[in-house]
Amino acid sequence: MFRGLCLVFTTLIVCAAWTPGAKAKDPEARAGAVDDARLRAADAEPGSWLAHGRNWAEQRHSTLDALNAGNVAQLELRWRYDPETERGLEATPIVVDGVMYATGTWSVVHAVDARSGQGIWRYDPQVPRAVGQKACCDVVNRGVAVYRGRVYSGTLDGRLIALDAGSGELIWEVQTVDPELYYTITGAPRVMKGRVVIGNGGAEYGVRGYVSAYDAETGKQLWRTYTVPANPADGFESPALERAARTWNGSWWELGGGGTVWDAMAYDPELDLLYVGTGNGSPWVRALRSPGGGDNLYLSSILALDPDDGRQVWHYQTTPGDNWDFTATQHMILAELEIGGQQRKVIMQAPKNGFFYVLDRRNGELISAEAFADVLWATHVDSETGRPVEREDLLFEESLQFIKPTFFGAHNWQPMSFNPKTGLVYIPTHEILGAYRRDPGYRRVEGEFNVGTDFNVFSAFGPEAVSGHLLAWDPVRQVEVWRVPLGLPWNGGTLTTAGNLVFQGTADGRLVAYRADTGQTLWVTHTGSGVIAAPITYAIDGVQYVSVMAGWGGAFALVAGPAGLGAARGPGVLLTWAIPDAVPTPADFESQITREGGVAKGEKLYHTWCARCHGSAGVSSSRLPDLRASQQRLGEAFIQVSLHGLADTGMPAMKRYVDADEVAEIQRYLASLPAP
Ligand code: CA
């Protein structure tokens, strides 16, 4: 009988197949069954990697320690998955209940068996390739969010898509930008409280930045918060933007303004605050953007928003009146730190401008800010005013200036990580000399780079002008603890673990594990392509894995010319390592020899009287009969054959040792074993 539900129409029969083994419609049994409770308790569930930054605090610290400083040198490649691209790979994969979700170039979403690397499904949103021209910094994507059985992802052409986590089928998609304008999405969405939050990029091309929230279930837009004011004559969307407009001059709205929310966010469920970082001005040169000056709020700022309505609660501007493309979209980490004898709820950021900021995340108050890299554009951040003190002698309106950091940033989107055990933040740091000159011939070209600086002066630089290192930074004392020089800049994001480890990929195509407390190199492997993405770690059935997407690309790869030629430039690949199956200890066998129930007696008899020839656990690698098969084939005759033997084969008569009841016990044991 066909077991299922059939609806008979005139010309076709539609059947919904039902199988007894199929999982019930319990939402917890679905693929991607992540909810707020799981996200909030992500640290208690280190086997999965539930969110972009592992948890809402975006710490990128795993409490797994099966892999540790003592054994990490044994890591071996476990599997590789081909995302079929030769462009940049920037995504942090998410792992939920054994399935890995990652994005490749052109916003393609991949679901992969996290244990084997076998592809499960792939969703190509068919981004028109002409959109690539709108992307300042490669046709990349930094990952998905997984929530309530769905996978959410932004597309380069500005859509937010919701896919079924089990099948990869499209559930809904919404266009989050005006496709006539020069917006793109490369950042990962974040989810909380039934909302999917997504920003966008495009400040180089002249857009107005904003961040939006959509209903996770339906895709309905719930709120949109702009980061810079529009034309005051048209009114303001919020009091915060009315205040911001007083810090702008000229007709900035005709140029877009900038302030795009193109990457970092974090969420504090206790304070119920969503933190977003905003980008640079459009154009870069402030004299062009806002003649007469002004701070140009809320460019290059950290904004704390109410996730229910997008209302701004506080702001902190890292680079007032940004003149250099010093975005504050870089990774933000929430942590509890003891500072001056007090436990402080902090938010930490190392934005492009070269200062490491520690703020009170309840109110945005500056706790401290110190240079974590070479900083030439400012002398320091004034702790009274919270403002950087600019070097007037390095302003480039009139003349060429050599400045550090540059528009590549002392730290860019490559995520940093925070290890609560060592108390250190691990920062992929870039040292890149910049040449800035206001372009004397600048004129605005619709739909092209509108930054106002002369790129020709930058093109003179080769490898000698650039370097990078992995930096371990103490955020309490605001000092460097150790660094590993890496030659090239534009190395990958970092991962840190409770096993006293830091992992980072490099531009020259390595993945390296370091001791988290000292920076000692413990393990090195080669990926074939420059690694810019951040590694993750997860565990399935007690095996701890480390994964990273290797795929050279992004802004530095596109723009830096001769300075970037030392990078490894192989095709993109998703790689996963684990320690080869560990040698078990005697304790690991205990569960195997202590069986419960009726087979225990038969098992003991089998191993006493049969196993010497027919093999332990009913299996022999010799040519003697497999007794699992024999008992099945012989049925009741199994007892007689056992008792009386088969003289011409050498099978002895066992009646000297066991009786019929005992052979029946043996047969029950054999029947309980997996069929041969
Ligand atoms: Ca920018």
Question: What CATH number is associated with residue 219?
Answer: 2.140.10.10
198: its two tokens: 């997504």
Bridge partners for 550 per DSSP = 573
First to last CA, the chain: 30
Residue 367 CB neighbours (<10 A): 20
List the beta strands (DSSP E) in 437-572: 466-474, 479-485, 494-497, 501-505, 510-515, 521-526, 536-540, 543-550
376 and 499 within one domain: yes
Q: What is the distance in A from the centroid of ligand 1 to the CA of 203?
A: 6
The whole-number pLDDT of residue 19 equals 33
Cβ distance 291 to 262 under 8 Å? no
| pTM score, whole prediction | 0.83
Report the distance separating Cα 388 and Cα 379, nearest Å. 7
Question: Which of 354, 355, 449, 438 has the alpha carbon at shortest distance from 401?
Answer: 438
The amino acid at 383? S
Q: Which residues pair with 196 in a beta bridge?
A: 191, 214
Question: Peptide bond before 298: cis, by omega within 30 degrees of 0?
Answer: yes
In order of 468, 482, 488, 497, the CA distances from 485 in angstroms are 6, 10, 9, 21
Using DSSP, state whether 604 is helix, strand or coil: helix
Q: How many angstroms is it from 405 CA to the middle of ligand 1?
A: 13
Query: Is there a single domain that holds both residue 16 and residue 150?
Result: no
Domain boundary pick from 577, 594, 615: 577
The number of folded domains in the chain is 2
Q: In terms of domains, do 441 and 588 share one?
A: no
The rounded distance, in Å, linking the Cα atoms of 274 and 264 is 11
Q: Is 657 inside a domain boundary?
A: yes
**Partners of 192 in the β-ladder:** 195
Strands of the 159-164 sheet, one edge to the other = 145-147, 150-154, 159-164, 170-175
State the distance from the centre of ligand 1 to the C-alpha of 223, rounded, in angstroms: 25
Query: Is 472 found in the same domain as 452?
Result: yes
Q: What is the pLDDT of residue 582?
A: 59
Residue 613 token pair = 């020839």
Are 47 and 173 within one domain? yes
Q: How far is the CA of 568 from the centre of ligand 1 (A)?
A: 25
- How high is the mean pLDDT in each 10-residue block of the chain (676 residues)? 35 35 47 97 97 98 97 97 96 98 98 97 97 94 98 98 98 97 98 98 96 98 98 97 98 95 98 98 94 97 98 98 97 98 98 98 98 98 97 92 95 98 98 92 87 81 90 98 97 98 98 98 97 98 97 94 92 96 67 58 90 86 88 92 91 93 93 85
The secondary structure of 11-24 as a DSSP string is S-EEEEE--TTSPP
Distance from the alpha carbon of residue 296 to the mean position of ligand 1, in angstroms: 15
Ion ligand 1: protein residues whose beta carbon lies under 5 Å: 280, 325
12 and 61 fall within a common domain: no
CA distance 539 to 577: 11
Residue 562 backbone dihedrals phi, psi, to 5 degrees: -55, -25
Edge to edge, the sheet with strand 94-96 lists 94-96, 99-103, 109-113, 119-123
pLDDT at residue number 23 = 37
In this structure, what CATH number is given to the domain that contains residue 593?
A: 1.10.760.10
Domain identity same for 136 and 69: yes
Q: 16 is in which domain, residue-wise?
A: 2-26+584-672
Residue 488 lies in a domain: yes
Distance 262 CA to ligand 1 centre (A): 9
Q: Which two tokens stand for residue 100?
A: 């890995």
374 Cα–ligand 1 center, Å? 20
CA of 184 to the centre of ligand 1 (A): 12
Catalytically active residues are 325
Cα–Cα distance measured from residue 240 to residue 448, given in angstroms and rounded to the nearest whole number:
30
Q: Distance from the CA of 327 to the center of ligand 1, in angstroms?
A: 6
Instruction: With respect to residue 358, please indicate whether it lies within any of the assigned structural domains.
Output: yes
Do 591 and 573 fall into the same domain? no
**Whole-angstrom Cα distance, residue 443 to residue 458?**
19
Together in a domain, 384 and 454: yes
Please state, in angstroms and rounded to a whole number, the distance separating the CA atoms of residues 22 and 26.
Answer: 11
Structure tokens at 632: 């099945």
Q: Are residues 564 and 599 in the same domain?
A: no
Shared-domain flag, residues 6 and 94: no
Beta strands 366-371 and 401-403, pairing class: unpaired
Does 517 fall in a domain? no
- List of residues 6+ apart from 64 with CB closer than 8 A: 46, 47, 497, 498, 499, 537, 538, 539, 544
Ligand 1 centroid to residue 502 C-alpha, Å: 28
Q: Which phi and psi (to 5°) does residue 561 adopt? A: 60, -135
Q: Could you give the CA distance from residue 541 to residue 544 in angstroms, rounded to a whole number? A: 8
In a domain, 516, yes or no: no
What pLDDT score was predicted for residue 449?
A: 87
Of 577, 594, 620, the residue that ends a domain is 577
100 CA to middle of ligand 1, Å? 30
How far is 87 from 518, CA to CA, in rounded Å? Answer: 34
Spacing of C-alpha 420 from chain mean position: 19
**Does residue 31 fall inside a structural domain?**
no
Whether residues 130 and 256 fall in one domain: yes
Among residues 542, 559, 577, the one where a domain terminates is 577
